[in-house]
Homo-oligomer: A and B are copies of this chain.
Amino acid sequence: MERYGVGMGDLVLIATKGGAFEGILMPRYEFADEEHIVVKLKNGYNVGIRVEEVDSIKVLERHEIWRKERPEFERVTGLPKVKLIGTGGTIASRVDYRTGGVSPAMTAEDLYALVPELKELADLSVENLLNVYSENMTPSLWSRIATEAYNALKGGFSGVVIAHGTDTMHFTSAALSFAIENPTGPIILVGAQRSSDRPSSDAATNLIAAVRVAIHPEVRGVFLSMHYGLDDDLIALHRGIRVRKNHTSRRDAFESIDEEPAILVRGDRVLLRRTFPKGEMKLHAEFSDQAFLLKFFPGMEPEIVDYLVERGYEAIIIEGTGLGHVSSAMIPKLEEAVEKGVFVGMVSQCIWGSVRMTVYETGRELLRVGVVPLEGVTPETAFVKASWLLGQGLKGTDLAEAMKTDLRGEVLERRLSI
């Protein structure tokens, strides 16, 4: 690219042995691999071109937003104050309507320049707290983000928006839900799936919706702001405690599990579908790294449980099959683990629905040896909850009782009939 003096977002004419392509050069991370460049054609499709087949690249029009100094914006006064915490990932950066591209620094001015709608909405303060891909998040980083968000609300911000990579955003949203009891305002995680085949990235729309809800006087709690369905303008805010990334690449990758999204946003309309009770805000930021999430599969050798116990894990969350089952061969090992003081909780790898371990012999046997059914808690939230309760110093029956208790609306009520 440097060789041809072109940059992301430039309108280019690329001559190849197979013909010429005119379009917008897409950012590096959109490359299928190092040997391809990707150009968005006028018809909206992206085409990947092998570098070795490129004869020449001519810049037809420079995309100045990536190069120039930002103009100074006149700040609108009297707007509600919103804290924007950057943690890394696609959206924690400059967002560009034209390419959907990002670059790795972020100031309030950058955001106002790139997403002008924000200027009229909120007085943004940006804190670039972390810069990690979300697959590198850890329980101790959850603590740092929770503390920062808590301090912002405590310090008088109307709301907090957290830019986060999407891969593990639902783990972090669950973590914040536990760590911050009764937040006095909205704490909203926002990511981008970067559907590069559309003129506007989802980053901008997700972010605008997040800020719009962050300034809403009635909303309290932890949410995750992403596209809803195939509609270009509809954004869902999912409760942070009951949401999951269920698609690798779609804009509407995140889904509320066994409930509807808490809030919908379309343009400047915000539809609240719940009430958001008040309470005294408290921070409980500590997480432990001694919880393990274990997915069961047919034929799994039970010795894996010995390993986890010997290694010192204090809580094992099992993703069982169906209503909460593992093979009979696993049960004695789980019994030993429980006898040694390890918490063993059961969720279902089905994702939807609730475990119910009284229906079949296997489930009843698991209950008998002390495995705790975690009802309709999602596997990811159950793992985060165990990590948090261990971080809060809970052990033994206290831990088991707390795992069974609905602390933040994470447990869906079980029904008698299935």
Interface residues of A (CB under 8 A from B): 29-33, 38, 45-48, 133-139, 166-168, 171-172, 193-197, 245-250, 253, 289, 292-301, 303-304, 307, 311, 319-329, 348, 350-356, 358-362, 364, 380, 383, 387, 416-418
Contacts and interface: CB of A to CB of B under 8 A. Distances in A.
A323 to B, nearest CB: 5
Given A167-B323, A246-B351, A303-B311, 15 more contacts: A134-B298, A135-B296, A135-B362, A137-B299, A171-B298, A195-B417, A196-B417, A197-B417, A246-B350, A246-B352, A248-B322, A248-B324, A248-B356, A248-B418, A250-B353
Q: A-B pairs with the 5 shortest C-beta distances?
A: A248-B353, A167-B321, A167-B322, A249-B418, A135-B325
Contact of A416 (B48, B137, B193, B248): B48
15 contacts: A46-B416, A133-B362, A134-B298, A138-B327, A167-B322, A195-B417, A196-B418, A245-B350, A248-B353, A248-B356, A249-B353, A250-B352, A253-B350, A289-B301, A307-B307
A292 B69 CA distance: 52
A75 to B, nearest CB: 35
Interface centre among A29, A133, A136, A298 (most CB of B within 10 A): A298
A318 to B, nearest CB: 11
Contacts of A32: 358, 416
A248 B355 contact: yes
A245 B352 CA distance: 9
Nearest to A320: B135
A342 B383 CA distance: 28
A325 B416 contact: no
Nearest to A383: B297
Nearest to A359: B29
Q: Main secondary structure on chain A at its contact with chain B?
A: loop
Contacts of A292: 300
Contacts of A356: 248-249
A82 B390 CA distance: 55
Given A135-B327, A137-B298, A351-B351, A168 B245 contact: no
A328 B350 CA distance: 28
A155 B29 CA distance: 55
Given A416-B32, A418-B194, A135 B350 contact: no
Contacts of A303: 311
B295 A319 contact: yes
A147 to B, nearest CB: 17
A245 B416 contact: no
A301 to B, nearest CB: 7
A367 to B, nearest CB: 9
Contacts of A33: 358, 364
A197 B348 CA distance: 22
Nearest to A319: B295
A5 B295 CA distance: 44
B168 A298 contact: yes
B354 A248 contact: yes
A103 to B, nearest CB: 15
Given A171-B297, A311-B303, A247 B133 contact: no
Contacts of A197: 417
Given A297-B383, A359-B29, A326 B248 contact: no
Nearest to A137: B298
A328 B417 CA distance: 45
A301 B193 CA distance: 27
Contacts of A294: 295
A33 B304 CA distance: 30
Interface centre among A319, A326, A416 (most CB of B within 10 A): A416
A295 B295 contact: yes
Contacts of A353: 247-250, 253
Given A245-B350, A326-B135, A297 B293 contact: yes
